Structure 1
Amino acid sequence: MSKHAPILNLPNILTLIRVAAIPVLVLVFYVPMQGSDMMAAALFLAAGLTDWLDGYLARRLGQTSPFGAFLDPVADKLIVAVALVMLVQVHASLWLSVPAMVIVCREITVSALREWMAELGQRARVAVSSVGKIKTVAQMGSITVLLALKPAHTVDGDIVMTPGLWIGYAALYLATALTLWSMYRYLRAAAPQFRGAGRGE
């Protein structure tokens, strides 16, 4: 990594575009017009693809930077959290609220863990794993499907489940299971530091 890598290189610009897309995603999702749900899903999917693209370009062009290392995971967590909040409001279901809560809580926990481990000089112990990458794919896929398929409700308020919604929910629960498993692996890797470090504030 170059110590003098420019902040506004191509990978970081793509990441900033992903952050800027968040309010656009919210606006498109709630605008009362036909096809807004599909447009929101397409926007979210495009943001997910730029996540892969900016990482690939950073490595290929040798343009990794401390700013990019900070901003990229922040952008991912922001857009996922915002999308989940919108889905919880639209679906208004315990079956979606619980996995959304688990995913958001996991992201907060792991982010705090990584920051703490970095302060101890043990950041590599909690690096992104292959399980985390699979989780990300399942999570992005499930949210894209659920954004595209706003549910209809019965008179009693229950969601009318369609094959597409079943797929979206199944992928979300897979992502949730992988979320819990990856968090367990991160915590297990950090366990020696928990036992050896002194008490915090």
Structure 2
Amino acid sequence: MKQNLPTWLTLLRIALLPVIVVIFYLDAPWARPVSCIIFVLAGITDWLDGYLARLWGVESRFGAFLDPVADKLMVATVLILIVEFDNSPWLTIPAIVIIGREITISALREWMAGMGQRGKVAVGWIGKVKTTAQITSLSMLLYLHDLFGLPIYKMGMAALYVATVLTIWSMVGYMNAAFSDSSTEE
């Protein structure tokens, strides 16, 4: 494992997850906004680690593996927290779609890598937009409270559905790319 700042930022993103969970469950009026702030900071490291790795020329196979794992752990953890808190099918259904897509695409990438065709399902721009939409919507749902008179939680719900549509769109794109020719047949 190459140890450099981008890799450490990715590891920090993973390490912040238990902190988010513990703060989320504290019985204090500041708990949800603080868990949101930590989640946003973790989300910023998602952008920063990749940017720095490319800028400094320290991209590694381990970093390329760990970065999407950290993203998926972040999204799944916060989705589970929010679904448990809200206890609503309006959150549960998008959560199932998002987590199901992440598992499906991870498996697809593993399968394609086994055939030497991982590049066909490399992360594209829609995947990056999808992750940004997920982190934005989950931040709003984590925050919970109104802010400057704006119904942040309701806005987060709407944003979650936008993120869910982007999630499905990106999955269809990856599936099309993977199965675009007969080279993926066993």
Letter of the structure 1 residue corresponding to residue 77 of structure 2: V
Is 2:117 aligned against 1:122? yes
Q: What residue number does 2:48 align with?
A: 53
Task: Determine the C-alpha separation between the residues in 1 that align with 2:41 and 2:182.
Answer: 39
* Alpha-carbon shift at residue 133 of structure 1 (Å): 1.4
| Paired AA for residue 173 in structure 2 | R
Aligned equivalents of 2:162, 2:18: Cα separation in 1 = 27
Trace 1:26-175 onto structure 2 (pairs within 5 A).
26-149=21-144, 163-175=151-163
Deviations 1:147-200 (A, max 9, x none): 00069xxxxxxxxxx8322210111000000100110111111114667522xx
Count of residues in correspondence between the two structures: 183
- How far the C-alpha of 1:144 sits from its partner, in A, is 0.2
Structure 2 unaligned runs (5+)? none
Q: Write the distance in 2 (CA, Å) between the matches of 1:21 and 1:90.
A: 20
Distance 1:98 1:150 in 2: 23
Q: Choose from 155, 175, 185 the match for 1:187.
A: 175
- Aligned residue type for 1:88: V
- 2:5 matched residue in structure 1: 10
Change (3 A) 1:40 1:140: same
Deviations 1:45-66 (A, max 9, x none): 0000000000000000111111
Q: Which amino acid aligns with 2:54?
A: R
Identity of aligned residues (%): 52
What corresponds to 1:20 in structure 2?
15
TM-score, normalised to structure 1's length? 0.87
Question: 2: distance between equivalents of 1:13 and 1:174?
Answer: 31
SS in 1 for 2:179: helix
What corresponds to 1:3 in structure 2?
A: none
- Going from structure 1 to structure 2, the CA distance change for 1:196 and 1:41 (only over 3 Å counts) comes to closer
1:178 and 1:12 map into 2 onto residues whose CA distance is 27
Residue 166 of structure 2 corresponds to 178
Which blocks of at least 5 consecutive residues in structure 1 are unaligned? Answer: 1-5, 152-161
Assess if the C-alpha contact under 8 Å between 1:58 and 1:64 holds in 2.
Answer: yes
Structure 1's 150 and 89: CA in aligned 2 closer, same or farther, altered over 3 A? farther
> How far did 1:67 drift?
1.1
Q: Is the 8 A contact 2:109 2:121 kept in 1?
A: yes
